Amino acid sequence: MSEAEIIKLLSMVLALAIAIIGHEIMHGWVAFKYGDTTAKSQGRLSINPLIHVDPVGTLLLPALLYFSGAPFIFGWAKPVPINTATVIRNGGTNGAIAVSLAGITYNFILAAVCAALFPLVSQPESLFGAFIAFLLYQSVVINVLLGVFNLWPIPPLDGAHAVRYLAEGQGWHSFVRLYEKVAPYGMLLLFAILFTPLSSYLFMPVRWIIDWLL
């Protein structure tokens, strides 16, 4: 493996870790602001990556995507525990929506910050400079990818949770009941979409946003 390949791999691993761990911590942090101490009491607001590692989402899937030559890499960390009842009691369904969208918001903000910094290091003159350039670029790509992906209104993704709490707050009870019937099959639906041409259409905004940011 060449120096360039090692730098690229390390930057992708670090960018993915920062993206997915920060995503989960933000869910717990916003829930904490609404009085839910579950994540904090279990030590899940820590930036220690070891307590957030999911064997499949953090290790296996990203490795398979990388070594199979996939055009993108993404994954997930171990979900931060949230007591939604406490959040809704203190902040209503709007509080639950805020918790649901906290990780996505983090990803898009981080992507924007990295995109703003990227021109400063886009022509590196050292290996360390190349690592920073790769890290910023990969951070833009991975965070936009995660942000768009999690916006899909398919359980168990964050976008679906936000829509569910919005419907509950608006009194759309028939929709909530439909959601609860569909939710157990969400993962099957999600994988069916990911491994069919339909995914290319749902991921189209990723390229548009990245092109706009960079």
pTM, full prediction: 0.90
Crossing angle for the helix pair 158-170 and 173-182, nearest 10 degrees? 150
pLDDT along the chain (214 residues), means of 10: 80 90 95 95 87 82 75 78 95 96 97 96 86 94 94 91 93 89 85 77 88 92
Burial letters 90-103, b for 16+ CB under 10 A, else e: ebebebbbbbbbbb
Residues carrying an active site annotation: 24
The pLDDT tens digits of the residues spanning 76-113 come to 888 899 999 999 999 999 999 999 999 999 999 999 99
